[in-house]
């Protein structure tokens, strides 16, 4: 909660914050999403799936939460294939 309050102070009202939540052992999504919502953030879940070329460079799949205090920012991100 404290971190999201700090981010809210330094990001513009239309700012975008990406939180990496990939973890093999702990499901971080509910915890991070609840804390973000309490702070007034809109949330979109995003997944990164590496291309074959990325896999050759040892890239692995990952899960992210995109947060903004302006839901329109997330709609724009999603419309662009984010």
What's the whole-model pTM score?
0.83
- State residue 78's pLDDT score: 87
Position 15 confidence tier, pLDDT thresholds 50, 70, 90? very high
Domain boundaries, the chain: 2-79
Instruction: Assess whether pLDDT exceeds 60 at residue 82.
Output: no
Q: Are 62 and 47 in contact (CB under 8 A)?
A: yes
Could you give the C-alpha distances from 64 to 10, 27, 28, 81, in angstroms and in order?
A: 21, 12, 10, 14
Q: What is the pLDDT of residue 1?
A: 87
């Amino acid at each position: 909660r404290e971190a999201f309050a700090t981010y809210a102070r330094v990001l513009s009202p239309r700012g975008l914050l990406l939180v990496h939540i990939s973890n093999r052992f702990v499901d971080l999504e509910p915890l991070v999403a609840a804390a973000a919502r309490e702070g007034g953030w809109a949330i979109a879940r995003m997944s990164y799936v590496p291309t074959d070329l990325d896999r050759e460079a040892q890239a692995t799949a990952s899960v992210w939460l995109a947060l903004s205090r302006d839901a329109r920012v997330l709609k724009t991100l999603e419309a662009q294939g984010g």
